[in-house]
Structure 1
Amino acid sequence: MVQITQTTYGNGAALIWAEMESDALPLDEVDGNVIRTVKRSVFSESQPSPLKEPLTLAAVSQDVLRNILDLNESVIQNEEFVRCVSGGKLFPGSVPLAHRYGGHQFGYWAGQLGDGRAHLLGEYTNRKGERWEVQLKGSGKTPYSRSGDGRAVIRSSVREFLCSEAMHFLGVPTSRALSLVVSEEPVWRDPFYNGSVIKERGAVVLRLAKSWFRIGSLEILTRTGELDVLRTLLDFVIKEHFKSIGTNDPDKYVVFFSRVLNETAHLIAHWMSVGFAHGVCNTDNFSLLSITFDYGPFGFMESYDPNFVPNTSDDEGRYSIGAQANVGLFNLQKLLEALKPLLTSDQLSQSQQILREYPQIYHQRFHELFKAKLGFLGNEENDSYVIAFLLKLMEDTGADFTMTFRQLSEVTLSRLQKGSFAPSLWALSDLSSHKHFRDWVQLYLQRLSRIMSDSDEERQHRMQGVNPRYVLRNWMAESAIRKAEKNYFSEVTLLQKTLMEPFMEQEEAERAGYASKPPSWAQQLRVSCSS
């Protein structure tokens, strides 16, 4: 692994640099970016390919800059910094790596995959003692690029940058994004795999995570019979990222599996609570640390629909929002298969029992999150019914997911009981068209009435802290992308600012319509795996 430390540069702003720490994990013995099948290694050395200049620093996360990388904001004025965060110049001492992994894609083993357009620059330990792995995405070919060019385009890069930061401020575990750099370099893509190839522009996102290891990181080693490398990698992951697990514990792999299972269930429940559909829940996109990463054809659900599929490449709806919990179970089954050669028969039995507990863990966390969204305190036997009843009304009426819950947090209970809503409460108005709406309202009001010493103001404050007013809807991202492709980045900036405070009503966001009914053209938007 490469350890990134800190120094100063030029105008006194801090820049990051890297030096080799140790050879803790095996490296590919073959050098260069030649596409190949890699054996007996976790990483391959791979040099980024610089984007063609001129470069534009289109967006920066000040939160990541200051609070993760300990950098002064004046650093963004430095041309060398822009080259460093776009792959044109390495931080001193950096030895860029591409990670080897495999994965099940859409239910089938896809063999070797790996970082086909990403370069791990190193690891930074900040002044709070947090360790972050720093990676470029869209920075050129690696040994794992297969038939790809190693590039990313503006549309996918804007979406990744904005959604990484949006999810963080929603409180969902996620990778982070420092910067978005765009170029005039032409990149050719067939966005919907229909033979219509178009010229787009290249872009690079510098992103960070506590770790980029994923279920597919272990699967590839089991599949190729590299069990010594599998054990080395697994021991490294546990030592570095699961410090409460004793390295000498004979059952450490079982405990590790249990932790990943619990946190994966919690993560997916959290996705559901904000209406987020990942879009490509392959095992190569599922983190061992249970964070959200590899943002591709994601979508925040608008009209409530368990069959919502954000990815037009997903013809069968395998990764619909309502299927995410089951897909999580499938992926955890594949994780257990990867661990199986390292487990005794008793440990395998224990792990299989842990796997059977996943549905209960998921449903319990889902229940807790949705109770909070409705402002409930304590537990009542009927709570699950009240939640399910509301979701059924929303499904039948196509009520907006985000704004239904938000407007429930904004309306007074007396107004809710009357059932007559102003135009600004458009989502509740849609919901109230259901013939059973008043039946649900009575159940809801009765439940709230049993919370002792609770006022309308306290309930609203509680609910507004967990029900966002703004999420990154596809139409909002698309509007920003269209402008960015013409070198106007003002809407990227506005969205970034808005999504940093998603629970707070903001004047600029309201003027932009970010809490209004989605425009009619939004229904025609399509997002695919192509980027």
Structure 2
Amino acid sequence: MSLGTVVRKHFLLLPLLLLCPSLVGLFLGPVFAASPWSNGRPSSTSTPLLRPRHTCPPALTLDSVMKRYISCSPAIMSLKKQLSEWSFADPKLASLPLDPELDNYVRRFVPKAIFSQCQPTPMKTPRKLVAINEEVLKNILDMDPEIKQDPDFVDFVSGNKVLTGSIPMAHRYGGHQFGSWADQLGDGRAHLLGEYINKLGERWELQLKGSGRTPYSRFGDGRAVLRSSVREFLCSEAMFYLGVPTSRAASLIVTDDPIPRDMFYDGNMKLERGAVVLRLAPTWFRFGSFQILAKHHEQDELNALVDFVLQENFPQIVRSHPDSRDDQILALFRTVCQDTANMVAHWMAVGFAHGVMNTDNMSIKSITIDYGPYGFLDEYDPHYIPNSSDDMGRYDFQNQPTVALWNLQQLALALKSALSESRREELTKPLEEYAKNYQKIFLDIFARKLGFQTIKTSEDMELLAYLLKSLELKNADFTQSFRDLSEISLADLVAKKIPENAWGLKKVLDEEHFQKFMDKYPARLEEENTTDEERMTRMQAANPRYILRNWLAQRAIEMAEKDDFSEVEKLLRVLKKPYTIQKEAEESGYAQPPPKWSKQLRVSCSS
């Protein structure tokens, strides 16, 4: 289907797209490509003999059941202040096909397995706690923040101590990297510690990143450095409070273990400080988890993974389709397509570019994972590339919706053999619906950013096209310009009374496309039948004042390198309320124009 056909079929907006070509990537996103469906069915393989992995608990008595029920009741369950009071849930993930080799050494290929058991490698130098996330500890892990005083806590979150009940494992997955199949990848520097079910009944998987080598480390050392770990710790939480689906971070530690890194792959190797992040997700399975099994025709293992994910991560689908596994798989794929569209639309709304949208970095739960060379827009540039390793610009800002669809097509190919042959073609329908779903979510979010409670597709798209074009032509700041619109009265906007501190909107005041925007914006707001104060309140709740700009993260990193963790802690506090003006953030200049030196900052896949 051609781009013109997509435009005419869905929105009849070709004149607007000619006005602002960047909207092609932002709004329409994908142009569907033919999927290489085949009728071949991968051969089935037998499951390898699994060794016993843990000792079964003693038989339950009525008394023990009642005690456990009472102690886990949300009204009674207290936050744990000692690690000895806290424990992992039963290790269900260890029931999946495991690598029979228990020795931890790097192997280029580990067949017929989903996980390999391997222990984290202890850090050699003293561990220092950079920061903890109190909300995650309390609300997800049922831990009192005072648990950080436990002598074993830092060792636990650094990988130096493995708790009773933990079965550390590294996950085997594959993936397309920059569009090319890379075959086996896997957790090369991450250890899944175990699963936890909290007082709300939520299931979370705890994973250490930077905790040492695994069978999947390839040529790596299994470590992460402080600069990349600070960025991951802060950004996962910033994204959560911006309202973007994401993994979470509980803690960050740093050591003096020397880690050699060539940051820009230019031969300039330097020693950096090692760090470990304890991060959490409902699941760490990715598109590549299914791809590696399908590519190698490991059908039994693929079926086991599909069934596990359905039961543990999408139980509502199983309940809705109790009698048909095919219906469950199709509903799973439809949900992933819809939720991935939602995730990417939220990225676009806050100006976030992931940087490495490989299929191994795409979560099956459609949450943002693996924060590496990401970036938030400063000046509005639809072709913004945060990753200096992305030479071809495959993952630039405006291309993200299209790349997400391409990745979903690869997931569909991986799931195909799990379906009955007669049902496989049905995987195409969610892909065909992706653009429509994405466009609806995208426009809904941007309508709120412009202060609208209702959506008028063609009118609102025209307004957005004018506004974005003016930002692009004048190199105006994306986040600040939308925030300025929310903080200035309509009367002052019409009269061009723009204060000096509205440094985003100030740039476009006399730009031709912004004038066209202002010619129609007041009339569109009148149709909302609301006061200007209500409009401003709504817009301020949809347009952040603070985001994790690269220069803010860099300042925190440089201070942390000198064992001053105050900036990391301050950023964490501020980014938890990104839509609210905060005194300490204003005094720190978090909403001021980026300094000139920030334009020289570069990030890469080296971490």
Contact in 1 for aligned 2:80/2:143 (Cα 8 Å) = no
How many residues get paired? 530
TM-score by length of 2: 0.85
Structure 2: gaps of 5 or more residues: 1-52, 57-67
Task: Return the offset for 1:394.
Answer: 1.1
C-alpha distance in 2 between matches for 1:491 and 1:175: 22
Between 47-56 and 258-267, report the one with greater CA deviation.
47-56
Answering whether residue 183 of structure 2 is matched by residue 183 of structure 1, we say no
Cα deviations by residue, 1:385-408 (Å, 9 ceiling, x for unpaired):
111221111111111111111111
Task: Return the offset for 1:13.
Answer: 6.8
Task: Return the offset for 1:18.
Answer: 3.4
Answering whether residue 462 of structure 2 is matched by residue 385 of structure 1, we say yes
Answering whether residue 86 of structure 2 is matched by residue 16 of structure 1, we say yes
Cα deviations by residue, 1:118-172 (Å, 9 ceiling, x for unpaired):
0000001111111110010000000000000000000000000000111111111
Contact in 2 for aligned 1:14/1:75 (Cα 8 Å) = no
Answering whether residue 408 of structure 2 is matched by residue 341 of structure 1, we say no
Contact in 2 for aligned 1:306/1:322 (Cα 8 Å) = yes
C-alpha distance in 2 between matches for 1:225 and 1:267: 30
SS state of the match for residue 245, structure 1? Answer: helix
C-alpha distance in 2 between matches for 1:19 and 1:439: 59
Q: How does 1:323-402 map to 2 (within 5 A)?
A: 323-380=399-456, 381-402=458-479
Match of 1:86 in 2: 158
SS state of the match for residue 88, structure 2? Answer: strand
Between 191-200 and 385-394, report the one with greater CA deviation.
385-394
Match of 1:34 in 2: 105
SS state of the match for residue 512, structure 2? Answer: coil
The residue type paired with residue 242 of structure 2 is L
Answering whether residue 579 of structure 2 is matched by residue 503 of structure 1, we say yes
Q: What is the aligned counterpart of 2:333 among 257, 270, 276?
A: 257
Cα deviations by residue, 1:49-108 (Å, 9 ceiling, x for unpaired):
111231110000010011111111111112211100000001112110100000000000
Between 285-294 and 443-452, report the one with greater CA deviation.
443-452
Match of 1:113 in 2: 185
Q: How does 1:224-243 map to 2 (within 5 A)?
A: 224-243=296-315
C-alpha distance in 1 between matches for 2:183 and 2:86: 35
Cα deviations by residue, 1:233-267 (Å, 9 ceiling, x for unpaired):
00110111111213532322111111100000110
Taking structure 1 as reference, are residues 289 and 10 closer, same or farther at Cα in structure 2, changes over 3 Å only? closer
Match of 1:307 in 2: 383
SS state of the match for residue 86, structure 2? Answer: strand
RMSD: 1.9
Answering whether residue 140 of structure 2 is matched by residue 68 of structure 1, we say yes
Higher percent of residues as strand: 1
Cα deviations by residue, 1:155-197 (Å, 9 ceiling, x for unpaired):
0000000001111111111000000000010000000000000
Match of 1:133 in 2: 205
C-alpha distance in 1 between matches for 2:147 and 2:461: 51
Task: Return the offset for 1:21.
Answer: 3.8
C-alpha distance in 1 between matches for 2:142 and 2:226: 27
SS state of the match for residue 186, structure 2? Answer: coil
Task: Return the offset for 1:382.
Answer: 1.0
Task: Return the offset for 1:348.
Answer: 2.2
SS state of the match for residue 436, structure 1? Answer: helix
The residue type paired with residue 28 of structure 1 is D
C-alpha distance in 2 between matches for 1:8 and 1:78: 17
The residue type paired with residue 525 of structure 2 is L
Contact in 1 for aligned 2:466/2:516 (Cα 8 Å) = no
SS state of the match for residue 35, structure 1? Answer: coil
Cα deviations by residue, 1:452-491 (Å, 9 ceiling, x for unpaired):
1x11111111111111000000000001001111111111
Contact in 2 for aligned 1:13/1:72 (Cα 8 Å) = no
Match of 2:172 in 1: 100
Match of 2:482 in 1: 405
Contact in 1 for aligned 2:487/2:536 (Cα 8 Å) = yes
Q: Which structure has the larger Rg over C-alpha atoms?
A: 2
C-alpha distance in 1 between matches for 2:481 and 2:89: 51
Answering whether residue 534 of structure 2 is matched by residue 458 of structure 1, we say yes
Answering whether residue 232 of structure 2 is matched by residue 160 of structure 1, we say yes
C-alpha distance in 1 between matches for 2:545 and 2:505: 14
Task: Return the offset for 1:15.
Answer: 5.0
Q: How does 1:440-459 map to 2 (within 5 A)?
A: 440-452=517-529, 454-459=530-535
Between 434-443 and 474-483, report the one with greater CA deviation.
434-443
C-alpha distance in 2 between matches for 1:38 and 1:199: 31
C-alpha distance in 2 between matches for 1:323 and 1:187: 34
Q: What is the aligned counterpart of 1:318 among 370, 379, 394?
A: 394
Match of 1:248 in 2: 323
Task: Return the offset for 1:14.
Answer: 6.7
Contact in 2 for aligned 1:19/1:92 (Cα 8 Å) = no
Answering whether residue 515 of structure 2 is matched by residue 438 of structure 1, we say yes
Task: Return the offset for 1:10.
Answer: 11
C-alpha distance in 2 between matches for 1:32 and 1:15: 31
Contact in 2 for aligned 1:16/1:91 (Cα 8 Å) = no
Q: How does 1:149-228 map to 2 (within 5 A)?
A: 149-228=221-300
Contact in 1 for aligned 2:447/2:454 (Cα 8 Å) = no
Match of 2:35 in 1: none
Contact in 2 for aligned 1:14/1:70 (Cα 8 Å) = no
C-alpha distance in 1 between matches for 2:407 and 2:257: 37
Task: Return the offset for 1:344.
Answer: 3.5
Task: Return the offset for 1:354.
Answer: 2.0
Match of 2:343 in 1: 267
The residue type paired with residue 377 of structure 2 is M
Contact in 1 for aligned 2:138/2:144 (Cα 8 Å) = yes
Taking structure 1 as reference, are residues 370 and 129 closer, same or farther at Cα in structure 2, changes over 3 Å only? same
TM-score by length of 1: 0.97
Q: What is the aligned counterpart of 1:471 among 547, 561, 575?
A: 547
Taking structure 1 as reference, are residues 379 and 343 closer, same or farther at Cα in structure 2, changes over 3 Å only? same
Contact in 1 for aligned 2:381/2:472 (Cα 8 Å) = yes
Between 181-190 and 69-78, report the one with greater CA deviation.
69-78
Cα deviations by residue, 1:404-429 (Å, 9 ceiling, x for unpaired):
11111100001100113211011010
SS state of the match for residue 191, structure 2? Answer: strand
The residue type paired with residue 492 of structure 2 is R
C-alpha distance in 1 between matches for 2:269 and 2:298: 40
Task: Return the offset for 1:527.
Answer: 0.3
